[in-house]
Structure 1
Amino acid sequence: YTIGVGSTGNLALSIGTISAKLGFTVEVHMSADAKQWKKDLLRQKGAKVFEYKGDFSEAITQGRSITMDDPLGYFVDDEDSKALFLGYSVAALELKRQLDEEGITVDKDHPLFVYLPCGVGGSPGGITFGLKEVFGDHVHCLFVEPTHSPSVMLGVMTGEHEKVSVQDFGLDNLTEADGLAVGRPSRFATEISQYLVSGFYTMEDDEMYRLLALLADSENVYVEPSAASGLSGPLRLQESGILEENGWEDKMGRAVHLTWSTGGSLVPEQDRKKFYQKGKSLLTPVTES
């Protein structure tokens, strides 16, 4: 039996690793922007990695076609899988358990704000769906995308969903946040998320690196660039005007803010140091000699 998956990185790591461990044949279809260390690690785990010159859309389209042609193949479809979407949503139950253990209340007077890195939209969409089921109107989710790859935001704002790509707006879909390098959003996830998401914001790659370094210095937590994108969420919220529009400003002193970090623990030490050093260099003021 064969498990296939198309990914820019992190979904491939999870599906590829566990599927190989369980004894399946694993075929991972990865876009050109996927990091080399992720491809190498997958091959070490026993997965077959197919590389494409195009972006995520090409990788997932080709991967779906190849896998579905195999009568013993199953494709984990990040663009159009209800099972995967609901799998993401289960994270809300885990979060509720953690909040309860910490004695953290989420209700009308103690709202929860969650900042979710967003690629094709399946993961943040599924998590948001779960959170809304658990906390209702007391949770507010904001999606974060790279300035060069805001596919879900554009899909929702235009109402065209998967019918538009970032290239249609003159953007190149090139970003260091490889897990978020998606030019066209998921139809299934975006059609649901448009009714649940509270807002979007975009971020430059350099800002992700700066936040990555600040997190390492302050908390000794090392993440990859895409996983740092939600860290500026509370500041963006304050600057956006959305607090006044929704009557939230008087509750901010009692609010809970949560950044969803999507990866970093598997990053090789050499790459981790490069990420950190780049972030530190961007934090250091440039002085003229």
Structure 2
Amino acid sequence: MTDFPTQARAAEAAMRDVFPPTPLQRNVHLSERFEADIYLKREDLSPVRSYKIRGAYNAMRKQADQELFVCASAGNHAQGVAFMCKHMGKRGVIFMPVTTPQQKIQKTRMFGGENVEIHLIGDYFDDTLAAAQDWCGREGGHFLSPFDDDDVIEGQSSIAVEIEEQLGRVPDHVILPVGGGGMSAGVTRWFGDRLHCLYAEPDGGACLRAALKAGKPVALDHVDTFVDGAAVGRIGAKPYEILKDVPLPDVLSISEDRVCATIIEMLNVEGIVLEPAGALAIEALGDVRSWIRGKSVVCLTSGGNFDFERLPEVKERAQRYSGVKKYLLLRLPQRPGALKEFLSILGPEDDIARFEYLKKSARNFGSVLIGIETKRPENFADLFGRLDDAGLAYTDITNDETLAQFLI
């Protein structure tokens, strides 16, 4: 039986029939910020703007006699399968969640053309996966898992082969985003104990952490689909077998709002477009600052399939996380001049982003929903002090998720 390193090298060599190695770039901005040598492995620059093309191609080339491939995907695996179906002249049937961003659906159609058909089924990936497997069981074809497949894991390991060749050595750390675990398992298996692997997953899809705590893959009670490329409710069984000995402190849970801040920063500072899952590894740098100082670190920018219709939401969440935007319920006197007096309390860097009376009546006071943006988080402490001095009653609801769902 061929050993894994030989298989991984063969997979990496096979990729060259489809696309060149993705760049490994030292990022000056991040390196200076974290006092380390930070490199970005730019999987967002693959032909389908994610690493998923690697696993799809490797698995499909090993099933060369198969004419029909079936898959379930939150978007990126679908694009990889669609691209390879057209490239290899195969037929693909692709199942995607109804909640998949339109950009990913349209790109899947574009990459696959007449070679693929798309079915939108299920609100969550696990529902979509069950539907795809059921269809494949009835209609035939080769089911191509996005992560729970030895050939897919082997294909994703080609990333690690490229990193070592491009850097000319093994880095001290590599930070990997985790969804179903296929890529992180492949990279981990290639490097073994030659470096320190760290794993970043979204708070709303922390399936690796849950599996490590339980000692086996377990289904999450709820999955937040915002980081759609990593919103998986149960880690794959095959990836888990490779990752089951990962120390729990090496698994970093990143809030969805933090991911938004990184997306905006990388777009504004570096001109790099990342989808939420693609930004996980970079945002995780802040959690391991003391570990990586003076070291070489590779962050995998796993995908750049970002739907710009989501940008207002991403900006909103980033502002709330960074503390420069807050929402207040303000109890405002209903008399002439009251609004003008309130406006005079605002500081020179404070702007009103939203102003809405929640209840209009003949009472002496009315409730107002007000959104305020400022340039520096510390400005809010000054503003709240002035509101207190003026005797105005207010409630900060910025982080009240229940109220935010209905009001913001």
Calculate the TM-score normalised by the size of structure 2.
0.58
Aligned to 1:8: 74
- Contact kept in structure 2, 1:151 and 1:166, CA below 8 Å: yes
Change over 3 Å in CA distance of 1:194–1:204 after alignment to 2 = same
Structure 1 pair 62–280 and aligned structure 2 pair: CA distance change class (3 A) = closer
Q: Does 1:256 align with 2:256?
A: no
Over residues 173-226 of structure 1, what are the superposed CA-to-partner deviations in whole Å (9 max), with x where a residue is unaligned? 023110111111111111211235671111111111101111122222111111
Out of 179, 182, 198, the residue aligned to residue 122 of structure 1 is 182
Aligned to 1:62: 131
Q: CA deviation at 1:253?
A: 4.3
- Aligned positions of 1:27-106 closer than 5 A: 27-45=93-111, 46=113, 47-71=116-140, 73-100=141-168, 105-106=169-170
CA contact (8 A) 1:224 1:263 kept: yes
Q: Does 1:186 align with 2:265?
A: no
Give the Cα separation in 1 of the matches to 2:107 and 2:227.
18
Deviation at 1:68, TM superposition (A): 4.0
Structure 1 residue aligned with 2:226: 176
2-side partners of 1:153 and 1:220: how far apart?
A: 32
Aligned to 1:145: 201
2:271 aligned with 1:215, yes or no?
no
Partner of 1:248: none
Distance in 2, matches of 1:83 and 1:144, equals 23
How many Å separate the matches in 2 of 1:238 and 1:218?
20
Mapped partners of 2:294, 2:143: distance in 1: 43
RMSD between aligned alpha carbons?
A: 2.4
Gaps of 5+ in 1: 244-251
- Structure 1 position 159, deviation (Å): 0.3
1:79–1:187: 8 Å Cα contact kept in structure 2? no
Aligned-partner Cα distance in 2 for 1:215–1:279: 15
Identify the residue that residue 47 of structure 2 maps to in structure 1: none
Q: Helix, strand or coil: the match of 1:148?
A: helix
Cα-to-partner distance string for 1:239-266 (whole Å, 9 max, x where unaligned):
6xxx5xxxxxxxx4441111111111x4
Contact 2:258 2:318 in 1 (8 A): no
* 1:257-276 residue CA offsets vs partner (Å, 9 max, x unmatched): 11111111x445x4475476
The Cα offsets for residues 79-100 of structure 1, whole Å up to 9 and x where unpaired, read as 5311111111121111111102
Amino acid at match of 2:126: S
Q: Secondary structure at the match of 2:160?
A: helix
What is the CA deviation profile of residues 103-148 of structure 1, one whole-angstrom value per residue up to 9, with x for unaligned ones? xx43xxxx5211111111112111221222xxxx231111111111
Richer in helix (by share):
1
Question: Equivalents in 1 of 2:89, 2:78: separation in Å?
Answer: 16
- Determine if contact 2:178/2:230 at 8 Å carries over to the other structure: yes
Structure 1 CA distance for aligned equivalents of residues 105 and 257 of structure 2: 24
5+ residue gaps, structure 2, are 1-66, 326-349, 351-371, 373-382, 384-408
Greater Cα radius of gyration, structure 1 or 2: 2
Letter in 2 for 1:131: F
What's the counterpart of residue 85 of structure 2?
Answer: 19
Answer yes or no: is the 8 Å Cα contact 1:213–1:279 preserved in 2.
Answer: no
- Residue type of the partner of 2:267? A
Task: Check if 1:285 corresponds to 2:319.
Answer: no
The structure that is strand-richer by fraction is 2
Distance 2:161 2:313 in 1: 32
The answer as to 2:170 corresponding to 1:113 is no
* Secondary structure at 1:67 match in 2: helix
* Partner in structure 2 of residue 165 of structure 1: 219
Q: What's the offset of the Cα at 1:235?
A: 2.3
**2-side partners of 1:21 and 1:85: how far apart?**
21
What letter matches 2:135 in structure 1?
I
**Alignment match, 1:156:** 212
Q: Residues 120 and 60 (structure 1 numbering): CA distance in 2 closer, same or farther, change over 3 Å?
A: same
What letter is aligned with 1:209?
C
Partner of 2:337: none
Letter in 1 for 2:251: F
Contact 1:146 1:175 survives alignment (8 Å): no
